[in-house]
């Protein structure tokens, strides 16, 4: 059974700090990895996706992928109170058009 | 970017009634759409894959006769919750992947269903 694991948190960081969110997945056939942010009562919104091993940076966000360890992470630099939300890790096994498998999410709280 | 809409955004109904939720891709065609359900403080769970022009594929444990899916066109999929009960109260979200080579999926804003 395909599984995506995340620490539910809450993860609490002060404003301006780096928040580190982690995710592991069970299926070695996983090909694409996504990080979504979800505010309470809202639909998930895509932050980043990563396909290849290594780091991918986009503004304050950096996604890191290690397929050998089946591990993907998201770093948020200069954390802001508006970053407080639940962060969902999602994995796609297969080609385009395949559904995503989501982790339970990590709740991040950034205090001012 | 691509936009997916859902209607209604919120619905309250009595137990035993049926509720239809629409999911539309506004600026792209989607031969496949996905329906997810999310209970409070839980993750999104895939319910079914909606396929334009053919039957939907349901995940294990999801009753196909209770959750009717119709993918009538390349921009519209509907989910009907038949004979809804309080345990069906949840947040229902659809998503649609864009065509290759893009690998992105775009989510609708979700529908909050409350069954009294």
pLDDT at residue B76, rounded to an integer:
95
How high is the pLDDT of residue B75?
92
B17: which strand partners?
none
Using DSSP, state whether B91 is helix, strand or coil: strand
Helix (H, G, I), strand (E, B) or coil at A61: strand
Q: Which residue has the tokens 């940076």?
A: A57
Tokens at B96, concatenated: 């649609």
Over residues B82-92, the pLDDT tens digits come to 999 999 999 99
Q: Give pLDDT, residue A30.
A: 87
* Distance in angstroms (rounded) separating the CA atoms of residues A46 and A84: 15
pLDDT number for residue A14: 97
Overall average pLDDT of the A63-87 stretch: 97
What distances in angstroms separate CA B111 from CA A57, B23, B60, B85, one per listed residue? 33, 10, 22, 16
Res. A1: pLDDT tops 70:
no
Question: Which of A87, A57, A60 is closest to A76 using CA atoms?
Answer: A60
Place of tokens 């949840």: B90
Low-confidence winner among A71-80, A92-101, B41-50 (lowest mean pLDDT): A92-101
Residue B92 or residue A9, greater confidence: B92
How far apart (Å, rounded) are the C-alpha atoms in residues A12 and B37? Answer: 27
The predicted-structure confidence for B9-67, as pLDDT tens digits, reads as follows 999 999 999 999 999 999 888 889 999 999 988 889 999 999 888 899 999 999 999 99
Q: What is the pLDDT of residue A103?
A: 94
The set of residues, in sequence order, having a beta carbon less than 8 Å from that of B33 and lying 6+ positions away, is B23, B25, B49, B50, B71, B77, B94, B95, B96
CA–CA min distance A18, chain B (Å): 24
Interface of A with B (CB under 8 A): 32, 34, 41-46, 49, 51, 88, 92, 95-105
Residue B103: closest C-alpha in chain A: A96
pLDDT tens-digit readout, B93-112: 999 987 665 667 889 999 99
Name chain B contacts of A44, Cβ cutoff 8 Å: 44, 93, 107
User: Quick check: A49 and B109 CB within 8 A?
Assistant: no
Query: pLDDT-derived band of residue B69, with 50, 70 and 90 as boundaries?
Result: very high
Q: Mind listing the pLDDT tens digit for each residue in B45-60?
A: 999 999 888 899 999 9
Q: How much is the mean pLDDT over chain A?
A: 92
What separation in angstroms does the CA of A74 have from each of A22, A80, A81, A85, B107? Answer: 7, 15, 17, 14, 20
Query: Among residues of chain A, what percentage have pLDDT more than 70?
Result: 96
CB B57 within 8 A of CB B101: no
Q: Using the predicted structure, report yes or no on whether residue B1 has a pLDDT greater than 90.
A: no
CB contact under 8 A, B104 and A97: no
Task: For residue range A10-59, list pLDDT tens digits in order.
Answer: 999 999 999 999 999 998 888 889 999 999 989 999 999 999 999 999 99
């Amino acid at each position: 059974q395909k599984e995506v694991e995340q620490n539910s948190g809450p993860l609490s960081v002060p404003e301006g700090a780096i928040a580190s969110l982690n995710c592991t997945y069970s299926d070695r056939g996983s090909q694409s990895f996504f990080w979504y942010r979800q505010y309470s009562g809202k639909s998930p919104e895509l932050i980043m996706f990563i396909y290849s091993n290594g780091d991918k940076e986009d503004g304050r966000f950096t996604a890191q992928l290690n397929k050998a360890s089946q591990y993907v992470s998201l770093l948020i630099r200069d954390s802001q109170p508006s970053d407080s939300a639940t962060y969902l890790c999602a994995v796609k096994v297969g080609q385009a058009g395949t559904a995503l498998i989501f982790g339970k999410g990590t709740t991040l709280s950034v205090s001012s | 970017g691509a936009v997916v809409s859902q209607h209604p955004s919120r619905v309250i109904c009595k137990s035993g009634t049926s509720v239809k939720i629409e999911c539309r891709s506004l600026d792209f065609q989607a031969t496949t759409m996905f329906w997810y359900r999310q209970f409070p403080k839980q993750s999104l769970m895939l319910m079914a894959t909606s396929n334009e022009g053919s039957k939907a594929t349901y995940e294990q444990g999801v009753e196909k006769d209770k959750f009717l899916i119709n993918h009538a066109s390349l921009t519209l999929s509907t989910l009907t919750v038949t004979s809804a009960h309080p345990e069906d109260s949840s947040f229902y979200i659809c998503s649609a992947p864009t065509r290759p080579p893009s690998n992105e999926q775009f989510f609708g804003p979700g529908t909050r269903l409350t069954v009294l």
